[in-house]
């Protein structure tokens, strides 16, 4: 069973439907016992960093120590960072060193919204994905040099996917990325 953590972020229903579409059992929950017994955990991603960390406070020790596969989507990936500059300075989970920063004003249009190319490395998450375009919606990005498995250009070259041990994060929304997104989710759950 895949647990989608309900911590006040958006996109709970769309990510759950995408998981169901690939034939996996999924539950939306904020019950620690349910999450701890899951085969994999998804941190969905629409919302504010500070609010998300406050809403996850009850679960931070488990998230930092779990051996269960965790997929962070958009804001969920950003929560892996050491610190975020969104709305002030706020501590993240510090799973992967780095900062969440806003796109510079010189960058095209903010938020970065729409389809963009993802330049990915050889990683199981991207196996059998032919088209490199995924759907993005974000004004901040995870600025890190560590554990990066994909980059995207949007005025600046930023990490669009990271992987460290059992933690995987994607800045884009696989649940809104059509066939590519479903394949990526399938690759994630096939490797748990």
Instruction: Tell me the pairing of strands 140-143 and 99-102.
Output: antiparallel
What does pLDDT average to over the chain? 96
Active-site choice (90, 112, 138, 173):
173
pLDDT one-digit tens code per residue, 42-97: 999 888 999 999 999 989 999 999 999 999 999 999 999 999 999 999 999 999 99
pLDDT one-digit tens code per residue, 162-174: 999 999 999 999 9
Query: Rounded to whole angstroms, how far apart are CA atoms 171 and 117?
Result: 12
> Any catalytic annotation for residue 74?
yes
| Residues 103, 112 contacting (CB under 8 angstroms) | yes
Domain locations along the chain: 2-190
Confidence (pLDDT) at 182:
98
- Domain covering 2-190: architecture: 3-Layer(aba) Sandwich (3.40)
Query: Rounded to whole angstroms, how far apart are CA atoms 183 and 178?
Result: 9
Neighbours of 118 (CB within 10 A): 24
Active-site choice (86, 90, 138, 175):
175
pLDDT one-digit tens code per residue, 106-144: 987 999 999 999 999 999 999 999 899 999 999 999 999
Confidence (pLDDT) at 130:
87
Paired tokens of 4 = 């989608």
Query: Rounded to whole angstroms, how far apart are CA atoms 91 and 16?
Result: 28
> Any catalytic annotation for residue 175?
yes
């Amino acid at each position: 069973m895949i647990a989608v953590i309900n911590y006040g972020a958006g996109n709970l229903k769309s990510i759950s439907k995408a998981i169901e579409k690939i034939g996996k059992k999924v539950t939306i929950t904020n019950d620690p016992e349910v999450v701890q017994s899951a085969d994999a955990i998804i941190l969905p991603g629409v919302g504010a960093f500070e609010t998300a960390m406050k809403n996850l406070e009850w679960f931070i020790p488990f998230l930092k120590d779990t051996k269960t596969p965790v997929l962070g989507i958009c804001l969920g990936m950003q929560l892996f960072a050491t610190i975020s500059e969104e709305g002030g300075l706020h501590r993240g989970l510090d799973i992967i060193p780095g900062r969440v920063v806003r796109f510079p004003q010189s960058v095209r249009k903010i938020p970065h919204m729409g389809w963009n190319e993802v330049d990915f490395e050889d990683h199981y998450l991207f196996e059998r994905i032919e088209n490199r375009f995924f759907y993005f919606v974000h004004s901040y990005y995870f600025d890190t040099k560590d554990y990066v498995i994909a980059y995207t250009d949007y005025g600046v070259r930023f990490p669009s996917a990271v992987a460290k041990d059992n933690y995987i994060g994607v800045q884009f929304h696989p649940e809104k990325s059509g066939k590519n997104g479903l394949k990526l989710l399938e690759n994630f759950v096939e490797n748990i």
